[in-house]
Structure 1
Amino acid sequence: MERIVIGYDGSPASVTALSWVAARAAREDAAVDVVNVVSRSDKERAASLDVLGDAEVYLRERVSGIEVELHRLEGGIADELTEFADEADLLVVGVTPGRPIRAAVAGAVPLRLSTRARVPVALVPAGWVEGDEPATVGIADDDSSDAALAFATREARRTGMPLRLVHAWLMPTPAFYGSTALVETPETVMAAHRAVLDEALTWVLERSSTMSIQTELVRDSRSAALLRYSGRSSMLVIGTHHRGMVAGSLLGSVAQEILWHAECPVVVVPNEAGVERFEEFA
């Protein structure tokens, strides 16, 4: 049974996230912990009970026999949710697309969760309506997407939807040896990146030879390549090495670049979660 933790505050984005969780729980057995994090003010604590009660009613009306527990925590939202979900299988929160500045002022909770949590974090955009589009996973040049690929493969297998593997590439800056510039041809560079994508495809086929799989080799940045498919995906799955928000902003975190613009849920899978955790396909 999958254990899902959802951060819920009654906002439109969190209602959409709750609907996403209900649909997921309806497909397979899941225990859901609904968490509302408040300050120590009496007004917030009283309102929290109503918010949690509404969430429980919503889930029980949509999923017969679902196992639901309600939790009211006090403190910082990102800190409390991260710690509470440490032993869960999935942490879910809602996001409001197109508002990165407002989110930054509020503390960028979704980004903080994705850079701190040791479990996959699903970030569901407000207004999202689930369809039957492929699960899209970004394939990186290094091992940071290994667990993400395993997670996405399991998701596609469980839902019966296709799996889309996307790998982005750009021409490298020419290297200089003495006074001579060493320039690789586009054909050579593309072939090397095609090999990365083919390796990921082989990994999936070795575990599920009948799965419907699409591969896309895109000459663009990683974030732009993924965003072009976000309107045609059931989810975007990306990996992370947990560099943190500051390092991510300096080095170009894909999560930061796509989160506020993606048209579908974004699932950030920490590589430390391990491939083995997701290899038992349903």
Structure 2
Amino acid sequence: MTHHVAIGVDGSPESLAAARWAAQEAVLRQVPLRLVHAVDWPLDPTLPVLGKRDIDRWADQVLTEAAQELHRRHPHLEITTRCPTGRPAAALAAEAADAALLVLGSRGLGGLVGFIIGSVALSTVVATDTPVVLVRVADDPDGPGTGTAAEVLVGVDIHEAGDRVLAFAFEEAERRGCSLRAVHGWKMPPAYAYVPFFDPDNERDIGRSVTHMVDDMLLPWRHKYPDVNVTTSVFMGSAGERLVQASKGAGLVVVGRHLRRSPLGVHLGSVAHAVLHHAAAPVAVIAHA
């Protein structure tokens, strides 16, 4: 099966909320949905002793109950289940290999606290090149998000080749029939810290120049997706903070992360890190070169 939406489920309210979002996304894309529950066997010896048969029975129950609820909501959606054995992050990353999208749940605390990003979710995000969406439990008990008509936000970096990020954001906005807002934050060059008399005109000139660069970056995508209404938000400051603030009314926030690795591990980047931990809307993380 290719081009399906995969969702990690574990029986928690967080994963069930994410499963509802994933099912809606699969319907929008007109593709099947795959429910995945990873069984880590053998279990931690510090946990109560459970037999493999008990663990398998519980895993089957988790998948069956999630599938039944989603079938009630989307009776025409094709739903399959998978129960791989292994470390959850590695198993979910492997399941994502032939998927168009992987969806994970995350507990939301609201305000500045935002997400609780567990080690499994974070490890999975950096272990796969497939786009990953993290969905938090919304205030609405019926499911997360503010609806498919809410705008899509995308963080834009004029210094990076962000074609994969922009392609994902424009495609999502088009299939949802909603507007797209591109957000870019810039900083004054470090040399200006040593200038004794700062001319405000310099800041305005730099701001206009950066705005033109953002517009040039978006122009081919505007032509490719003429039905998507695009607005831009270019300012001096932190793009992460602005995306977090705007996420309260958004349907989806799209950010990029680098594929390259360092000796200390994978670096998400400050914008992706801030949005993942504090955004109120589902967050899509797109790997790019």
Instruction: Give the TM-score normalised by the residue count of structure 1.
Output: 0.84
Which of the two has greater helix per residue? 1
In structure 1, what is the equivalent of residue 129 of structure 2?
Answer: 118
Indicate if the aligned counterparts of 1:135 and 1:162 stay in contact, CA closer than 8 A. Answer: yes
Q: Secondary structure at the match of 1:141?
A: coil
The structural deviation recorded for 1:153 is 0.4
The more displaced of 258-267 and 121-130 is 121-130
AA of the residue aligned to 1:153:
F
| Alignment equivalent of 1:87, drawn from 98, 104, 107 | 98
Indicate if the aligned counterparts of 1:137 and 1:237 stay in contact, CA closer than 8 A. Answer: yes
| Alignment equivalent of 2:247, drawn from 230, 241, 257 | 230
In structure 1, what is the equivalent of residue 38 of structure 2?
Answer: 37
Q: Secondary structure at the match of 1:143?
A: coil
AA of the residue aligned to 1:255:
A
Please give the per-residue CA displacement for 1:246-270, whole angstroms capped at 9, x wherever unaligned: 5666x84322222121100000111
Please give the per-residue CA displacement for 1:222-247, whole angstroms capped at 9, x wherever unaligned: 21121121112110001121345956
The more displaced of 52-61 and 1-10 is 1-10
Using the alignment, how far apart are the partners of 1:260 and 1:101 within structure 2?
5
Indicate if the aligned counterparts of 2:153 and 2:182 stay in contact, CA closer than 8 A. Answer: yes
Using the alignment, how far apart are the partners of 1:11 and 1:54 within structure 2?
12
> 2:151 aligned with 1:140, yes or no?
no
Q: Secondary structure at the match of 2:37?
A: strand
The structural deviation recorded for 1:130 is 3.1
In structure 1, what is the equivalent of residue 145 of structure 2?
Answer: 129
> 2:61 aligned with 1:50, yes or no?
yes
In structure 1, what is the equivalent of residue 13 of structure 2?
Answer: 12
Using the alignment, how far apart are the partners of 2:234 and 2:73 within structure 1?
39
AA of the residue aligned to 2:25:
R
Q: Secondary structure at the match of 2:249?
A: coil
AA of the residue aligned to 1:129:
G
Using the alignment, how far apart are the partners of 1:211 and 1:244 within structure 2?
34
> 2:190 aligned with 1:173, yes or no?
yes
AA of the residue aligned to 1:3:
H
Using the alignment, how far apart are the partners of 1:2 and 1:161 within structure 2?
23
Using the alignment, how far apart are the partners of 1:169 and 1:154 within structure 2?
26
In structure 1, what is the equivalent of residue 257 of structure 2?
Answer: 240
AA of the residue aligned to 2:230:
I
AA of the residue aligned to 2:32:
A
Indicate if the aligned counterparts of 2:258 and 2:287 stay in contact, CA closer than 8 A. Answer: yes
Q: Secondary structure at the match of 1:215?
A: strand
> 2:193 aligned with 1:192, yes or no?
no
The structural deviation recorded for 1:101 is 9.9
The structural deviation recorded for 1:161 is 0.5
In structure 2, what is the equivalent of residue 97 of structure 1?
Answer: 108
In structure 1, what is the equivalent of residue 79 of structure 2?
Answer: 68
The structural deviation recorded for 1:30 is 1.4
AA of the residue aligned to 2:250:
S
Q: Secondary structure at the match of 1:66?
A: coil
The structural deviation recorded for 1:183 is 7.7
Indicate if the aligned counterparts of 1:111 and 1:255 stay in contact, CA closer than 8 A. Answer: no
Using the alignment, how far apart are the partners of 2:243 and 2:174 within structure 1?
21
Instruction: Give the TM-score normalised by the residue count of structure 2.
Output: 0.83
Q: Secondary structure at the match of 1:264?
A: coil
Q: Secondary structure at the match of 1:260?
A: helix
In structure 2, what is the equivalent of residue 149 of structure 1?
Answer: 166
Indicate if the aligned counterparts of 1:231 and 1:262 stay in contact, CA closer than 8 A. Answer: yes
> 2:232 aligned with 1:215, yes or no?
yes
The more displaced of 90-99 and 14-23 is 90-99
Indicate if the aligned counterparts of 1:175 and 1:182 stay in contact, CA closer than 8 A. Answer: no
The structural deviation recorded for 1:182 is 11
> 2:232 aligned with 1:204, yes or no?
no
Please give the per-residue CA displacement for 1:31-51, whole angstroms capped at 9, x wherever unaligned: 111110122252433211100
Using the alignment, how far apart are the partners of 1:235 and 1:117 within structure 2?
20
